[in-house]
Structure 1
Amino acid sequence: MTALGRSRQRDRGSATIWALTVGLVVVLFGVAMAQVGVAITARRSAQVAADLGALAGAARAIEGAASACGRASAYVVANGAELRDCHLDGLDLIVTAAVPTRFGTATAAARAGPVA
């Protein structure tokens, strides 16, 4: 057997290993990008919940913090988030909402009040 023939015998099956490695890298990249998508979606959901909660609660800011935050909490929970913080700053209502994910919690804050 020649040297070329022996070299080909040793390389036999290496393409399969390379194809499996490339396939595994592609799958792992896809999983990582899916997790990034989940985090982005959770952050946007938290922002929507905070925005709507702040707008709904600001309509009741004149009645006091308890009434405004109660209304904000109802809207935040209805949008699939939890109310982390709610307080009045003059007539501006500041709401912080959170959406849990497998890898952490996405939070967002919003402020609503009368136009100056």
Structure 2
Amino acid sequence: MTRSSPPRRGEEGGASVWLLAVGLVLVLLAAGMATAGAASVTRHRAEAAADFAALAGAAQVLSGAAAACARATTVATANGAKLTVCRLDYYDVIVTVRVAMPGPFARFGAATATSRAGPA
């Protein structure tokens, strides 16, 4: 009959520490991926809002800069964006919008996008 040796002191719970470390790494990886995903979605929303605002402004360009920018502001706001720049370059409307990241990701900043549209 063989006798087993008693466990060495200081080795109990080592697997628990490794499990916690791996779990922490996985949580941090998931948080990073969620942040990157939120940033990507916010960037796409900003680009779409800028495109729509520029097109709407271009439809009003013959009425003047005030009318074109007012329409662009309305459309940008309806798309969840804030119009930060609106100007006319001859018959082209150039707009820049800003979209804040959602929820807890807002502290990472906002996405901006610029678009230009004019008559065909």
Structure 2 residue identity aligned to 1:48? A
- What is the alpha-carbon distance in structure 2 between the residues aligned to residue 52 and residue 5 of structure 1? 75
1:104 to 109, 112, 117: 109
What is the TM-score of this pair, normalised by structure 2? 0.87
Where structure 2 has 5 or more consecutive residues not aligned to the other structure, the ranges are: none
User: Deviation of residue 114 (structure 1)?
Assistant: 1.9
Q: CA RMSD in A?
A: 1.5
**Cα offset, 1:52, TM superposition:** 0.3
Identity %: 49
- Once the two structures are superposed, residues 2-48 of structure 1 have per-residue CA deviations (whole angstroms, 9 ceiling, x without a partner) of xx946644322101100110001100110111011111111111111
Post-superposition offset of 1:63: 1.1
Gaps of 5+ in 1: none
- Matched residue count: 112
Q: For 1:10 and 1:47, locate their aligned partners in 2 and report how far apart those are by CA, in whole Å.
A: 57
Instruction: Give me the TM-score of the superposition, normalised by structure 1.
Output: 0.90
